[in-house]
């Protein structure tokens, strides 16, 4: 325990996908023993809250400034719309507690810090010392990329990075995961029907499936298109410069996490939604400031934090260890396909996968909560 008086911590959005992962991780690490948790709801006021081993308490109105204002810290996984509504109301009421948020709304604020403590613990400590009260989780692929190659940034070796992301259905929410499963089932049914035709062959089956994928019969309420049997080369809204908002976040958030305000490191790429259920992957092209032997790069990468691990650049190791299915539910961050590229001795390729619900969402929030509790006791 960090102090004699436990801090009151209010949790909002704890039943959603990120919130559920956060709750599980806090239980695994016995974090609830360090705080006085209070659970809020936007829809089931008075209903029993979760059982975290210390008795079940009724849920409290998450739209009540009075009740939220009684908390020392608030952790929100409710989404940007909720943050837009309640954060300013709470601050304007005079509340001076810590607000921890999984949503993107506060990331651009000069009064917030995007948290990823294995990479920017110095920024977090400085924020605490200077009175910053808002601590926000970063974009999932940005956080995973920094966990993977953060050592190269720390050593000031990177001139620019191109990140081509392959993002799972879960990045769009639970309903989108369910939609992908429904699409898979529907395509399976079409395939079964096609195979019963006496004249069918694989090309005929493919033709039937493709026709169905492009029809209005396939479920597509969330994605707008079929993700099953397909890839979607656009994520988030469109910006005037041709980027998607998801792609724009790469450079802005990376530099903010690293504390770079002048002469930002250029980062860009294309974000693609793929038909995996959980975990995001990224193919990285890294332009170094000078040529560095691969062995030295591997050492720098692995020394960055205790979760990153270099995978041998072989077919077997890559297929066994660098896939979404290999990292799902795990904190480790594998980095592989490391090699000098044909473009020159200062160009390096890399491929990495990570669970975006852990290091890409819940884990930085869990860890910054512990840091803030410790520093405020």
Task: Give the DSSP letter of residue 266.
Answer: P
Kindly list the distances between the CA atom of residue 171 and the CA atoms of 153, 317, 358, in Å, as whole numbers in the listed order: 25, 26, 12
Kindly list the distances between the CA atom of residue 216 and the CA atoms of 38, 210, 221, 224, 302, in Å, as whole numbers in the listed order: 45, 12, 10, 10, 48
Helix (H, G, I), strand (E, B) or coil at 250: helix
Q: Is 87 a catalytic residue?
A: no
Kindly list the distances between the CA atom of residue 105 and the CA atoms of 9, 75, 76, 82, 174, in Å, as whole numbers in the listed order: 21, 14, 12, 10, 20
> Distance between CA 112 and CA 259 in Å, rounded?
12
Strands (DSSP E) found in the chain: 7-12, 35-41, 60-61, 73-76, 98-101, 112-115, 134-137, 158-167, 267-268, 271-273, 280-288, 308-310, 333-340, 347-354
Instruction: Count CB-CB contacts under 10 A for residue 258.
Output: 19
Q: Is 279 a catalytic residue?
A: no
**Which residues pair with residue 309 across a beta bridge?**
334
**Strand pairing of 267-268 and 158-167?**
parallel
- CA torsion 317-322-326-331 (nearest 10°) is 120
Greatest alpha-carbon pair distance for the chain in Å reads 77
Q: Which of 140, 162, 271, 279 is catalytic?
A: 140
Instruction: Count CB-CB contacts under 10 A for residue 126.
Output: 13
325, with CB counted inside 10 A (0-12, 13-18, 19+), is: exposed
Q: Which of 77, 271, 279, 280 is catalytic?
A: 280
Q: Are 332 and 279 in contact (CB under 8 A)?
A: no
Would you please indicate which residues are annotated as catalytic (active-site) residues?
A: 140, 280
């Amino acid at each position: 325990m960090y102090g004699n008086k436990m801090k009151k911590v209010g949790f909002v959005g704890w039943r959603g996908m990120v919130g559920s992962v956060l709750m599980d991780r806090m239980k695994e690490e016995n974090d609830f023993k360090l705080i006085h948790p209070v659970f809020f709801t936007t829809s089931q006021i008075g209903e029993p809250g979760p059982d975290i081993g210390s008795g079940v308490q009724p849920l409290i109105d998450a739209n009540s400034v009075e009740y939220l204002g009684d908390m020392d810290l608030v952790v929100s996984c409710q989404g940007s719309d909720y943050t837009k509504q309640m954060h300013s109301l709470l601050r304007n009421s005079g509340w001076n507690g810590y607000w921890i948020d999984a949503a993107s709304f506060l990331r651009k604020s000069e009064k917030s810090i995007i948290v990823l403590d294995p990479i920017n613990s110095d920024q977090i400590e400085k924020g605490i010392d200077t009175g910053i009260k808002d601590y926000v989780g970063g974009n999932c692929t940005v956080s995973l990329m920094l966990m993977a190659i953060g050592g190269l940034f720390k050593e000031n070796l990177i001139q620019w990075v191109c990140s081509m992301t392959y993002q799972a259905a879960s990045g769009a929410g639970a309903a989108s995961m369910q939609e992908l499963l429904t699409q898979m089932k529907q395509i399976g049914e079409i395939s079964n029907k096609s195979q019963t035709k006496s004249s069918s062959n694989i090309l005929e089956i493919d033709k039937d499936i493709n026709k169905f994928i492009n029809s209005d019969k396939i479920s597509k309420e969330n994605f707008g298109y079929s993700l099953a049997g397909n890839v979607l080369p656009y994520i988030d809204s469109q910006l005037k410069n041709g980027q998607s908002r998801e792609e724009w976040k790469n450079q802005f958030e990376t530099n903010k996490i690293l504390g770079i305000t002048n002469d930002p490191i250029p980062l860009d790429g294309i974000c693609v939604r793929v038909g995996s259920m959980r975990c995001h992957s990224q193919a990285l092209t890294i332009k170094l400031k000078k040529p560095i032997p691969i062995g030295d790069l591997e050492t720098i990468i692995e020394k960055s934090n205790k979760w990153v691990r270099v995978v041998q650049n072989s077919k077997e190791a890559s297929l066994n260890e660098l896939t979404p299915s290999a990292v799902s539910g795990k904190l480790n961050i594998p980095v592989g396909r490391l090699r000098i590229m044909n473009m020159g001795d200062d160009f390096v390729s890399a491929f990495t996968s990570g669970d975006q619900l852990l290091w890409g969402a819940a884990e930085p929030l869990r860890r910054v909560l512990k840091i803030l509790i410790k520093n405020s006791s």
